Structure 1
Amino acid sequence: MCRRCQTGLPNAEKRPRLKLKALNWKEDKHNGRFIISLKRIAFCLDHPGRHALSAAAGLVGAIIFGFLISMIHALVSIRFQADQVVSGVAINILAVGLTGFLLQFIFKTSGNSPSVPSLPAMPIPLLSKIPVLGDIFFNQSPIVYIALLAVPLSAFVLFRTPLGLRIRAVGEHPKAADTVGINVFKLRYLGVGLSGILGGLGGAYLSIGQLNIFTEGMTNGRGYIALAAVIFGKWNPWGALGACLLFGFADAIQISLQNAGVNIPSDFLLMLPYILTLIALAGFIGRSRPPAAAGAPYEK
């Protein structure tokens, strides 16, 4: 049975990217930072993933570049206290031009890169043989497993460890955290850096996990859907996972309907995940409370 047609659960071939991005939105917001450039961080990281000599090297390159790009945002918004929305938009614009330029400079082409090897699927013995669910969850790219493991790990760190308590304190009341000796700036840099790494993994999955090609604009707004997933999930890793599964289900539905040749305009079907995002935000954004100091620069 076709993997895309088996179930609409997480559309496992695509949603690890969304889950990783939702998790790094969440990690970053808990310490008070807000990376609106996350979509373009992942977009930038699609490119080094494509140009690497091997898929493994591309994955490492994506992680490194994701961290470096996030540190640019951190430096501007934490050290120089610039408006982080402005900083994020600037990185978005930079990424659009930079990826297009690198595509032409390195591959001597525009639009799409040449095809290169992608990360192979790693089936888990026994579990991958479970009917329907086994192929969806246990016969996937290594990045899928990282995305799935990142959810309980993030929840444990944030809500069950002293480090998580400090991160949440920095996001809720940085002045009080600073008063008791917590290094606010260090933890915010840490949060932004982890966000960049996860964003890099998400970008790498799209180009060398799901596909084996880089295409300009291939993120297609999913970074903003990841933000919606965090809001819809009430800033909790498990809630964000549930929201990603819901949005992934909508994406899987539109793909299945197109494959089935349903007499509905394809443009309308492509709108389904985004329509669901708007509905979710309209119903939950007022009841989902972010960390109190999210987006606010901190001065000693």
Structure 2
Amino acid sequence: MGRVARAGGGAAVTVLAGIGDEAGTGLAEQVAAIAALGWSAIELRTVDGVALAELTDEAFDRVAGTLAELGLRTVCVDSRIGDWSTAITRDFGLDLAELRVLADRCGRLGTRYVRVMSYPNDGLHPDEWEHRALRRMRELAARAEQADLVLLHENCAGWAGSDAMRAVRMLEEADSPALRLLFDTGNGIAYGYPAVDYLRPLVEHVAHVHIKDGVATPNGPEWTLPGAGNADVAGCLAMLTEHGYQGALSIEPHLALRPHEQERGTGSADGFIAAGRALEALLAPAGR
């Protein structure tokens, strides 16, 4: 199990984790930051700057072996399927191939969760974008169900990324237990919606949570420690608790790494650890 917050010393409530490459490029840096927090769960996106599905078999074997030796649980892997780096016109076969690779690698890591998005548009008429995005998500969910995976659609890039009602429509169209939602507390800062308002109609469908915070500026989001920005992380956590959420809380602070811009600053691990401590402080008053 990952480290958990507890209510009055009682039963475990939720797992605390973090996206490793937010703390460092190499796996050693990533696991060291998790260890510094005293946690034992990690979310994987890239190692040495390489997406998990693109690692050679030898490199992946080293990753899986290291995590097993350290007793680190993998709560989710973050794919590039449908994300901000692609578009609805991209060859769908590439996404299906990535899913096949991750199905095998998730089995090695002991997780069923794969983060996906729903494809940014690329000049198509809105109706055609919707048709293609929903068709792809149905097919991905069907493939995931066959592979005993659960796809977690994030409120980020793509057709259903920033509109809660589109997310509901996508779930209804897929009609599969292999498609659920990943809620990121900070993405509303970038996409212009209040996080709690977005979460409210979707909370029952959320299976995984990313924690980040920030403030909107004329030059784009400025990311902060959880609780120090305008994302109302505390309000989101309260709503999740009220509805019995029992999944992981995984920090993605963006204090050093901004995946969208492929930027990395200095002091990655320090910011990551500070974000973890800030999350713990937010949870403590609620007795979680």
- Where is the strand percentage greater, Structure 1 or Structure 2? 2
- Normalised TM-score (structure 1): 0.25
- Normalised TM-score (structure 2): 0.26
